[in-house]
Amino acid sequence: METRVLTVNTDPVFQDRALAILDQIEDLETQNVRNLSEAVQALLEENFDGLIIEGDAALALEQATNLRQHFPSLTIACLLEGGRRTDVGSRAKEQNIELLVIGRSTRRLRVTLTRFVRSLDSHAGTAAEGIDPCHSLIGNLNQFSAAEILQMSCLSQRSGRFTFKSGRGNSEIYLQQGAVRHAVFGSVLGEAAVAEIFRWRQGRFYFEEGIISQEQTVNRPWAHLLIDNLQKLDETLELVGV
């Protein structure tokens, strides 16, 4: 089975010394992304045995530390330009991040990278699911209901888009300064869509700050919507005997 490595390299066309070496390693599949956001997306969508972040020491370590919070089981290495620095060494050790150095010698770099890749073979595992740092809030509907999270967001005067994903499909609720402005679930719009989402007890949600809808399909204050929908929800739950 092939080892899969994700590399973060901002300039993979012109700064490709390490990538060229990785290309030559047998039984290794390499995928390159250019920034942290793409790395998170790739790690969420696919399984990788290891991650190599190439670049300036401080920036690479910052990115690696950030990713470590979301992917605790992933093997992460920073490929540092200009040698190892003592100040980053202790931080890397704390975060369980390996430091590799791009020296002048291509042969030494090949040995370093091959050793790192081979070390992945022995403990290849599945990367733990993480979160996208672009999303300011993320969670499961079986832990927090849509009503709870919407109430919290409205009380704190948030503007942005909630996306709810469940077996029934995807839906979106747009907030503007703490008020529900637009809601959509398939062809259902407005208050009916909000009511539908209130009933969901399984699925995931995330919130993206700052995305505002030009459409307005909900005109009532949030408090009214909440009371009406909770009442309807209670009635529904009574019907099913939960």
Taking CB under 8 A as the binding criterion, the range among 14-22, 150-158, 192-200, 231-239 that sits at the site for other proteins is 14-22
Q: At what angle do helices 86-94 and 57-70 cross, to 10 degrees?
A: 10
The answer to the question of residue 34 lying near other proteins (CB under 8 A) is: yes
- CA pseudo-torsion sign 192, 198, 203, 205: positive
Count Cα neighbours of 21 within 13 Å in the Cβ-side half-sphere.
Answer: 19
Q: Which residues, 96 to 125, sit near other proteins by CB under 8 A?
A: none
Is-contact 170 163, C-beta < 8 A? yes
Is-contact 191 171, C-beta < 8 A? no
The answer to the question of residue 172 lying near other proteins (CB under 8 A) is: no
Structure tokens given for 20: 């060229």
Residue in 58, 152, 212, 227 binding other proteins, rule: CB under 8 A = 212
The answer to the question of residue 131 lying near other proteins (CB under 8 A) is: no
Nearer to other proteins, 31 or 126 (CB): 31
Nearer to other proteins, 38 or 98 (CB): 38
Minimum Å gap between C-beta 142 and other proteins is 29
Q: Which residues, 49 to 78, sit near other proteins by CB under 8 A?
A: none
Minimum Å gap between C-beta 229 and other proteins is 25
Nearer to other proteins, 44 or 230 (CB): 44
Is-contact 160 213, C-beta < 8 A? no
Residue in 32, 112, 171, 229 binding other proteins, rule: CB under 8 A = 32
Structure tokens given for 183: 């809601």
The answer to the question of residue 139 lying near other proteins (CB under 8 A) is: no
Does residue 221 sit in helix, strand or coil? Answer: coil
The answer to the question of residue 215 lying near other proteins (CB under 8 A) is: yes
Burial class (CB in 10 A: 0-12, 13-18, 19+), 132: middle
**Among 29, 7, 4, residue whose Cα is nearest residue 17:** 7
Nearer to other proteins, 134 or 237 (CB): 134
Q: Which residues bind other proteins (CB under 8 A)?
A: 12-14, 16, 19-20, 23-24, 32, 34, 134, 210-215
